[in-house]
Structure 1
Amino acid sequence: MSVPVDPNLLEENDDGEAHGVTKTMEPELYKATVGGDILEFVMAMENWAVNRHHCLSALCVPLGPQKNTVLHLATSCGHHEIVKLLCKDLPDLIAEKDARGDTALHIAARAGDGMLILLLTGSDYAGCVLGETNDAGNTPLHEALQYHHEDVARILVQKNRNLSYSVNREGKSVMYLAAEAGYAAITRLLVENPVGYCNVSEKDKDKSPLIAAIRGRNIEVLKLLWWKDHSSFIKRNKGRNPLHYAACTGFTEGAEFLLEQFYSFAYWTDKQGLFPIHVAAIQGHVEIIRMMLQLRPDSGELLTPQRQNILHLAAKCGKVKAFDAMVMLPELEKLLNARDDDGNTPLHVATIYGHPKVVSTLMWDNRVNLKVENNEGLTAHDIAEEQMKPEMLSFRKHMTWMALRLVDTPRAPNTIFNKTMHPIIGNHSKNTENFRDKVNVILLVATLVATVTFTAGFTVPGGTNNSDPDQGIANMLEKVKFQAFVICDSLAMYISIIVAVILLWAQLADQKSMYVALKLALPLLGIALAMMSIAFMAGMYLVVSKLGWLAKLVLLLGSHFVVVLGLLFLPLCFLGSSNYRMLRFISYYPFSLMLYALGNYAENEAEE
């Protein structure tokens, strides 16, 4: 019987170096190790040693494809008995590393198995591997903390409290990881012993344990680290200080603690020239702002390099809930009409960035001066009109313009826009094509309505009489709901035909005529759609009238739909185009409903 050739001995060149061959472990030994049966494992190890004429030592133990030893395999599979045996008989394996630089202790720490940690650290050889790093620069303690195994981390710390750990390749120290995870007990252990300290490079200053505690929103850990080592932050005068981070994350308790300990944090700017209260406004953390105004009242007057206050920033970012709460604060009333370097008030800024909800909040606030002009002589209304140009138009900006028109906001006396004409009307061929596309869409809808209602007129619900003398007469002619069906279906068809004719004329006219045709056609099309809906409701009611609950359900659903249709169509037809205050006032409620329903989409689009 031939003896299998060891593949590790193949493919050698003249210098004795192998090419293209990966190390492999004996199949029986691999299966026994992964399987976890201690007797099979011992037999497999002995058979391997006898077949290969090797003694059982760490130097000759076979390796798998990833340079993993049997100890690596047993540890990753959680086989305690095999690990215990190997630690006793082959302790040198504890220091062996696989292809990723992991020792068995790294694997056990990642798995969070406390028993494996005790077995692997019980040997005299364990001390040398506690500080060993893998390819990611992580020690076993780093791995335990990254994978949130607090009990395992405590064991590793207590094994050698005098060991000094370096930062990993991400610049994170073990103290940072403990603080980030919010492990107060582990942090205390690290603070009280040299094990937690290491030098952090200048480029990794944002990996400070104190910053990690703030990001982890753990006040106990923050206090521990502050009392132990806060001098380094007080000495720094560039970049963000801890209060910036607390304001950014909305960690109110931590921000209050930091402000009470060192109030100057509130008056330091970051590299963009932003104070902590500005960061809170950008992120929409009202509680932080309210707390800072209470402890440091003058912090509300702090400005950015562009001389923007916190209301400017909140309006720019479109933080609606935060902005609504901020304008209610008495301390901020004087900021409502404040102007930045460009002369823009918060209303101008919200208009420029297209945040209709913020604009609506400001317009209905009597304290806001709607007549303020910026350095270019434009009011918020002028800016909105300018943004209605096709090349600048978006859904959010259209809603913003509608919100401004709702309360008839003033225009600047010397505005360059024609007040009698819709802002998107111009002399360019691109604008004309834009109008033609809109006309074609409405014409298509009107044609569909006419087609559907025409067909319904000859397929009436209940059918027609087939016998003399009333042949061809509708069977349900005397029913009130049938009469409603006929009236509404007829109105829908005739009105849709009128809309189609108006739009056909518009196709032959100039741009201004197309705009007038659109203004007339949209309300008529809305009426046609409503009549068609009512006709459908009446027809459905007739055919299911013998089943009372279903008939009532049809009426309920249909009536609600018609109301919703009216609420959606009313602002589309009148708001922004009508000069009559009453129509705009009537349109306020459907517009508010639309703003509420579609506002989340608009704000999410703004953040993107």
Structure 2
Amino acid sequence: MSVPKYPGLSEEVEESYETADTMDPKLYRATTGGDILEFVRAMEHVTVDRHHDPPATCVQLGPQKTTVLHIATSFGHHEIVKLICKDLTFLVADKNARGDTALHIAARAGDLLMVQILIHSEYKEGGLGEKNEKGNTALHEALIFSHEEVARILIEKNLNMEYSHNKAGKSLLYLAAEAGFVTIAKLLLENPVGNYNVGGKTENKSPVFAAILGRNIDVLNLLWERYQSSFQSRSGNGKNPLHVAVCTEYKDGVNFLLSKHHYLAYQKDKRGFFPIHSASQKGFIDIIKLILQNRPDTRELLATRGQNILHIAARSGNYKIVDFMLKMPELEKLINEKDADGNTPLHLATICGYPKLVHTLIRDERVIIELVNNNYQTVLDIAAEHIEPEMASFQKQLTWMALRVIRAPQARQTKNFSGISFRVGNQTEKERWNDKINVILLMATVVATVTFTAGFTIPGGYNNTNPEQGIATMLEKVKFQEFVICDILAMYSSIIVAVILLWTQLGDTNSKHVALKLAVPLLGIALAMMSIAFMAGVYLVVSKLSWLANVVLFMGTIYVIALAVLLIPLCFIGLSNCRVYYYIYYYPLVLVLYIVGT
């Protein structure tokens, strides 16, 4: 049976013939309006059976089972509430459809005078301990909605009363700590009213956690003085209070916990993370500094799979925190440390495909790029393994390029094209190479067609008069000459690419490798020349309007540079181990890494 994704919006509603309650219109208007004389007149017109005690027939209910007391309380009509509490005291205990008494409504609104009127009512059966459908008493509601003075009055009304947790598992002490009410927390800890809360074992609902989440150091101090056992509590995922303070980047809380109970820094959660690992994963530099200043030996702590804080930072992909750690002399020994799988931080950054992070690591001379993991793989082996062109993300291809730039070694001899390892998947080897060739051939054909057409539709047209009939009108212009040269270069380069790729259809797989090595750079040249020809042509036809011509020139130059940045690494990467090539594509690649920002 299928379940609708949004049950509340389902078109199929179960039929119900229930009739909702309704209140007398005059009484309803008088109660919401707040005119006490109109209210009294309306009540007099309501039929009252004097033989009932309490007189139940005078209880008019609205559609949500609201009485006149609920309505008057919600609208803040104090005089009407006083009258009802005096003459119809039994209404104080009545609940609406959500289980709220009038006291719940007043406490939620923070109406101090209304709360005092209701708690001093003579009808005590509707007392302070009444719960609504969420398990909240009026005191819970006052704390949830941060009404401190209302909460104080409700507590002082009966200091010996026992309050249990609500359905969300939150005790009064938790709610007071969450709201940052130090005075309320003291009242709860010093009087029987809070006894039920101390020792409560509801998961995730420690008042210490609430004080941390509420970022209130005064409440945290109070709990340490009066309720130290709560600092041993754990959340459902095994986090202790220091984990929580770290994950919420609460520096005052972290400092307080490290000074009062430093053993928390040496406890793991269920993921196997110590607090400093959580800070590393989140990228909280100031928190890491604070922990290392207080407990410098925490840098030696290892998480699951034997990973140090630099491993965790590398896995998270945050290059800023890795860069910060690399600048810390005390963390130097972690740079090339291996985890249980033999992976260094550089291995993990490569596996996850974080090119900018990889570049950050390999710039550091202390990083040893020749190290192998337990599978005898260097970082370049891993990059090659994850960079199958049909499946690799752009980030992983950039990761591989970043490693090729610094001439990272390989421990394995792999069959590859430009250093990219080849795998056989659902397609055969021949089909996969043909797919690559077809894509490049299509692009080459498009370029050849466009440039051929442009050669006969030149800017400015031709002369129609003798003796220069048929000669280009702008022949003497430098930009026209630039247009012609670039257009010819683009067309012939693309034609050569097309011929090379047609030739590959008759050769073996090795010939395809060689052909693609030639075709990709030539196609790059064709695209660049076509772009320059277009810029020169447009510049010519708008040259009389100098500002527009300059805009065209500026925009065209910017985009040609961007095209070069993208094409140079693609064209030359892996062509040769010659150092000259690395100088050609190093800076364009670095620029791409910073543009991508990953």
Shared fold, TM over 0.5: yes
C-alpha deviation, 1:258, in angstroms:
0.9
SS of 2:47's equivalent?
Answer: helix
Partner residue in 2 for 1:497: 495
- Cα gap change, 1:589/1:199 in structure 2, threshold over 3 Å: closer, same or farther? same
Is the 1:302–1:309 Cα contact (8 Å) retained in structure 2? Answer: yes
Is the 2:207–2:230 Cα contact (8 Å) retained in structure 1? Answer: no
Matched, 1:383 2:378: no
1:158-173 equivalences in 2 (<5 Å): 158-173=156-171
1:141-220 equivalences in 2 (<5 Å): 141-150=139-148, 152-199=150-197, 204-220=202-218
Partner residue in 2 for 1:570: 568
- Cα RMSD after superposing both structures: 3.2
C-alpha deviation, 1:378, in angstroms:
1.5
Partner residue in 2 for 1:9: none
Deviations 1:285-312 (A, max 9, x none): 2222222222222111112342221111
Deviations 1:429-464 (A, max 9, x none): 345444433333333333333333333333333333
Partner residue in 2 for 1:398: 397
- Cα gap change, 1:543/1:37 in structure 2, threshold over 3 Å: closer, same or farther? farther
Is the 1:182–1:213 Cα contact (8 Å) retained in structure 2? Answer: yes
Matched, 1:369 2:348: no
The separation in 2 between residues aligned to 1:87 and 1:310, in whole angstroms, is 64
C-alpha deviation, 1:409, in angstroms:
1.2
The separation in 1 between residues aligned to 2:367 and 2:410, in whole angstroms, is 15
The separation in 2 between residues aligned to 1:553 and 1:52, in whole angstroms, is 92
C-alpha deviation, 1:101, in angstroms:
0.9
C-alpha deviation, 1:42, in angstroms:
3.2
Of 542, 547, 558, the match for 1:544:
542
- Cα gap change, 1:533/1:95 in structure 2, threshold over 3 Å: closer, same or farther? same
Letter in 1 for 2:480: F
Partner residue in 2 for 1:273: 272
The separation in 2 between residues aligned to 1:576 and 1:80, in whole angstroms, is 83
The separation in 1 between residues aligned to 2:313 and 2:406, in whole angstroms, is 22
The separation in 2 between residues aligned to 1:454 and 1:167, in whole angstroms, is 80
SS of 2:61's equivalent?
Answer: coil
Deviations 1:229-249 (A, max 9, x none): 112434889933212222222
The separation in 2 between residues aligned to 1:131 and 1:298, in whole angstroms, is 50
Partner residue in 2 for 1:408: 407
Partner residue in 2 for 1:605: none
Matched, 1:111 2:102: no
Is the 1:184–1:221 Cα contact (8 Å) retained in structure 2? Answer: yes
Partner residue in 1 for 2:13: none
Partner residue in 2 for 1:417: 414
Is the 1:425–1:512 Cα contact (8 Å) retained in structure 2? Answer: no
Q: How many residues align?
A: 581
- Cα gap change, 1:122/1:383 in structure 2, threshold over 3 Å: closer, same or farther? same
Of 441, 447, 450, the match for 2:448:
450
Letter in 2 for 1:424: S
Of 222, 230, 233, the match for 2:220:
222
Is the 1:578–1:584 Cα contact (8 Å) retained in structure 2? Answer: no
Letter in 1 for 2:139: L
The separation in 2 between residues aligned to 1:51 and 1:545, in whole angstroms, is 98
- Cα gap change, 1:200/1:318 in structure 2, threshold over 3 Å: closer, same or farther? farther
Letter in 1 for 2:68: V
- Cα gap change, 1:578/1:159 in structure 2, threshold over 3 Å: closer, same or farther? farther
- Cα gap change, 1:121/1:463 in structure 2, threshold over 3 Å: closer, same or farther? farther
The separation in 2 between residues aligned to 1:320 and 1:245, in whole angstroms, is 24
Partner residue in 1 for 2:7: none
Deviations 1:326-375 (A, max 9, x none): 22211111111112222222222222222222222221111112122222
SS of 1:206's equivalent?
Answer: coil
C-alpha deviation, 1:548, in angstroms:
2.2
1:241-280 equivalences in 2 (<5 Å): 241-280=240-279
SS of 1:49's equivalent?
Answer: coil
Letter in 2 for 1:90: L
Partner residue in 2 for 1:22: 20
Segment of structure 1 superposing worse, 60-69 or 330-339: 60-69
The separation in 2 between residues aligned to 1:283 and 1:121, in whole angstroms, is 48
Partner residue in 1 for 2:341: 342
- Cα gap change, 1:223/1:516 in structure 2, threshold over 3 Å: closer, same or farther? farther
The separation in 2 between residues aligned to 1:406 and 1:131, in whole angstroms, is 71
Of 68, 71, 75, the match for 1:70:
68
- Cα gap change, 1:47/1:363 in structure 2, threshold over 3 Å: closer, same or farther? same
C-alpha deviation, 1:56, in angstroms:
9.2
Is the 2:401–2:573 Cα contact (8 Å) retained in structure 1? Answer: yes
The separation in 2 between residues aligned to 1:82 and 1:447, in whole angstroms, is 87
- Cα gap change, 1:385/1:42 in structure 2, threshold over 3 Å: closer, same or farther? same
C-alpha deviation, 1:315, in angstroms:
1.4
Partner residue in 2 for 1:481: 479
1:314-353 equivalences in 2 (<5 Å): 314-353=313-352
Partner residue in 2 for 1:304: 303
C-alpha deviation, 1:389, in angstroms:
3.6
C-alpha deviation, 1:57, in angstroms:
4.8
- Cα gap change, 1:564/1:152 in structure 2, threshold over 3 Å: closer, same or farther? farther
C-alpha deviation, 1:54, in angstroms:
9.0
The separation in 1 between residues aligned to 2:109 and 2:467, in whole angstroms, is 91
- Cα gap change, 1:56/1:46 in structure 2, threshold over 3 Å: closer, same or farther? farther
Partner residue in 2 for 1:283: 282
Partner residue in 2 for 1:603: none
Segment of structure 1 superposing worse, 300-309 or 33-42: 33-42
Letter in 2 for 1:425: F
- Cα gap change, 1:47/1:307 in structure 2, threshold over 3 Å: closer, same or farther? same
Please, what TM-score do these two structures have when normalized by structure 1?
Answer: 0.86
Segment of structure 1 superposing worse, 484-493 or 228-237: 228-237
Segment of structure 1 superposing worse, 376-385 or 46-55: 46-55
Of 98, 101, 110, the match for 1:100:
98
The separation in 1 between residues aligned to 2:448 and 2:143, in whole angstroms, is 69
Segment of structure 1 superposing worse, 489-498 or 468-477: 468-477
The separation in 2 between residues aligned to 1:347 and 1:192, in whole angstroms, is 55
- Cα gap change, 1:48/1:497 in structure 2, threshold over 3 Å: closer, same or farther? farther
Is the 1:401–1:576 Cα contact (8 Å) retained in structure 2? Answer: no
The separation in 1 between residues aligned to 2:226 and 2:125, in whole angstroms, is 28
C-alpha deviation, 1:154, in angstroms:
4.5
Which runs of 5 or more structure 1 residues have no equivalent in the other structure?
1-17, 601-608
Partner residue in 1 for 2:121: 123
The separation in 1 between residues aligned to 2:371 and 2:184, in whole angstroms, is 57
The separation in 2 between residues aligned to 1:450 and 1:52, in whole angstroms, is 101
Is the 2:417–2:513 Cα contact (8 Å) retained in structure 1? Answer: no
- Cα gap change, 1:437/1:235 in structure 2, threshold over 3 Å: closer, same or farther? closer
Segment of structure 1 superposing worse, 260-269 or 388-397: 388-397
The separation in 2 between residues aligned to 1:115 and 1:350, in whole angstroms, is 62
SS of 2:270's equivalent?
Answer: coil
Is the 1:450–1:492 Cα contact (8 Å) retained in structure 2? Answer: yes
Is the 1:422–1:577 Cα contact (8 Å) retained in structure 2? Answer: no
The separation in 1 between residues aligned to 2:42 and 2:443, in whole angstroms, is 80
The separation in 2 between residues aligned to 1:403 and 1:480, in whole angstroms, is 40
Is the 1:492–1:529 Cα contact (8 Å) retained in structure 2? Answer: yes
C-alpha deviation, 1:256, in angstroms:
1.6
The separation in 1 between residues aligned to 2:556 and 2:368, in whole angstroms, is 44
Which runs of 5 or more structure 2 residues have no equivalent in the other structure?
1-15
Deviations 1:26-52 (A, max 9, x none): 233334434444444333332223799
Is the 2:48–2:55 Cα contact (8 Å) retained in structure 1? Answer: no
- Cα gap change, 1:372/1:209 in structure 2, threshold over 3 Å: closer, same or farther? same
The separation in 1 between residues aligned to 2:233 and 2:204, in whole angstroms, is 15
Percent same amino acid at aligned positions? 59
Deviations 1:139-163 (A, max 9, x none): 2232233334445445544544443
Partner residue in 2 for 1:14: none
The separation in 2 between residues aligned to 1:80 and 1:397, in whole angstroms, is 68
1:35-46 equivalences in 2 (<5 Å): 35-46=33-44
- Cα gap change, 1:267/1:166 in structure 2, threshold over 3 Å: closer, same or farther? same
Partner residue in 2 for 1:596: 594
- Cα gap change, 1:389/1:454 in structure 2, threshold over 3 Å: closer, same or farther? closer
